[in-house]
Amino acid sequence: MKSKHEKVLSCVAAFLLIASAASTGVLAAQADFDQLREKYYADHPGKGKFGDLWEPIAIQKYWNPIDFYTPPDTIQGKFTRRQCVDCHLGMTPGWVHAWRDSAHGNLDGIRNLDPEDSRFYKKAELERIEAHLASRGVLQAGEQLDEVGCIDCHGGVGMDALEHHTELRMPDRAACGVCHLQQFAEAESEKEQTWPQGQWPQGHPSHAVDWKANVHTAVWAAMPQREVAQGCDMCHYQQNKCDGCHTRHSFSAAEARMPEACATCHNGVDHNEWENYMLSKHGVIYATTGKMNWDFEVPLKDAMTKGGYTAPTCVWCHAEFEGEFTHNLVRKVRWGFNPTPAIADNLRHPWFEERKDSWVRTCSNCHSARFARDWLDTADKGTIQGLEVEQEAKKIVQALYDEGLMVGQKDNRPAPPAPEADAPGAFFALFWAKDNNPSLVDRIHADMWEHDLIKHYKGLFHMNPGGFTYTEGWSELLKRYTEIQNENTRIREMDALRKEVEMLKSQR
């Protein structure tokens, strides 16, 4: 499963290890990265447990380069660092310009920053990276890094030339981690999250396992419509690569600090954080004041003191943990994607209580602790109230199914494609349909738990009253509840009528 570039990298790494084995500090830095990279690939599911059911389509080599990438054969030859830029200036000028204007293409720009500049902190970052690369033998001690060129990401750090049709690669997380060890390690640490009562498998939900979550969804693997299914990967690729928040080829930290950076993925019917946030007080302050006046070049830790933030952004709230900001965004997660009784019934467990206390401290950067706790208590209870409506509807749907009363259940309900198993109101109802599977009540219930309840809870926790009362959330939950009650009564009346007719017929 490991691709060619991996082998190239490990050869380079082995060479560097020998070349730099003179000092023990060198070996420690080497070991940290190598261990992390090894674990990164060991944890990676590849095509996953349902891998024999599907084949990647061409575009997926970009969503998951680790498993599927192969270089194009339209261009052949061995090219140097300089030639990459020269030829691509004609071939793909947009990328070259973006790169030239970025930190990677302009490291002297960082060296020459004025101490008053909000980007001045990058100077120390650059020096740290140089020291790290020296410890790996890529640079001589004290030597400066000239640039982070095309070849450093698309071939290997420090390479002088590469064979375009064989050695070219798309950079995964580890390829960035060679230089950005700290961010790589922080991002990977999301895999350590362990739920106290097994509500989610270890590490879930998080960016660090989002590809795994994707390929381990049975209906995703079973869907014959691969061009539609690959749309899931367009959000679920951060386990594979780092350009979700830092778009290529600008790779900007300022961009990633803005709420828009999350919007491409955190929107829509089952994760509408973007809509909820933008229409909340916090989002409106960002839109009316923040976008124009706040300084997004300032690191998150100085957002209020130097950046001028007067309201929180997505990543300010979610990257913060006890006053520190890292690439692990899940250290305060409690409800985790969708509310279930397994979470609602355990909120008093210390694991959940400590995370809630931590949220209160986050909010207390601006609000009083009491205001924050009162709101979070309200949001918890409001979420549970929504969950109760959904759970009652679920019982009705389950009973119809258990009694064989779903419309068409006895003679027109084919099984979903394997490895999916038939079940009432299941996730597959949103992505597969044939004859009377799913029936209308299945679909309504699937919408209820996977869409409305999630929007309801996200609206509450992002302080958007329109979101959780009327437009989405509560009002929608009740609408579907009404529909399910209505169907239930209608189906049962029909069933009684049918039985009565049969009885009358048999008496004739």
Closest to ligand HEC by CB, 36 vs 405, is 36
Handedness of CA 274, 279, 281, 287 (dihedral sign): positive
User: How far apart are alpha carbons 199 and 50 in whole angstroms?
Assistant: 22
Handedness of CA 429, 432, 438, 440 (dihedral sign): positive
CB neighbour class for 200 (10 Å; exposed up to 12, middle 13-18, buried from 19): buried
468 in Cβ contact with 435 (< 8 Å): no
Closest to ligand HEC by CB, 253 vs 407, is 253
Which residues fall within 8 angstroms of residue 434, CB to CB, at 6 or more apart? 414, 416
* Least separation in angstroms between CB 485 and ligand HEC: 28
* Nearest by Cα to 420 from 431, 405, 404, 409: 431
Closest to ligand HEC by CB, 471 vs 488, is 471
Closest to ligand HEC by CB, 112 vs 264, is 264
* Least separation in angstroms between CB 83 and ligand HEC: 4
* Least separation in angstroms between CB 326 and ligand HEC: 8
Q: Could you give the C-alpha distances from 78 to 9, 69, 274, 498, in angstroms and in order?
A: 18, 19, 45, 77
Closest to ligand HEC by CB, 178 vs 491, is 178
Closest to ligand HEC by CB, 237 vs 483, is 237
* Least separation in angstroms between CB 471 and ligand HEC: 16
Closest to ligand HEC by CB, 299 vs 466, is 299
Closest to ligand HEC by CB, 301 vs 479, is 301
* Least separation in angstroms between CB 411 and ligand HEC: 29
487 in Cβ contact with 438 (< 8 Å): no
* Least separation in angstroms between CB 149 and ligand HEC: 6
Structure tokens of 440? 């209308």
* Least separation in angstroms between CB 416 and ligand HEC: 14
Long-range Cβ pairs for the range 160-166 (8 Å, 24+): 160/80, 160/81, 161/78, 161/79, 161/80, 161/81, 162/78, 162/79, 163/77, 163/78, 164/71, 164/75, 164/76, 164/77, 164/78, 164/79, 165/71, 165/72, 165/73, 165/75, 165/76, 165/77, 166/4, 166/71
Cis peptide before 205 (omega within 30 of 0): yes
User: How far apart are alpha carbons 243 and 173 in whole angstroms?
Assistant: 9
Closest to ligand HEC by CB, 15 vs 399, is 15
* Least separation in angstroms between CB 191 and ligand HEC: 10
* Least separation in angstroms between CB 488 and ligand HEC: 28
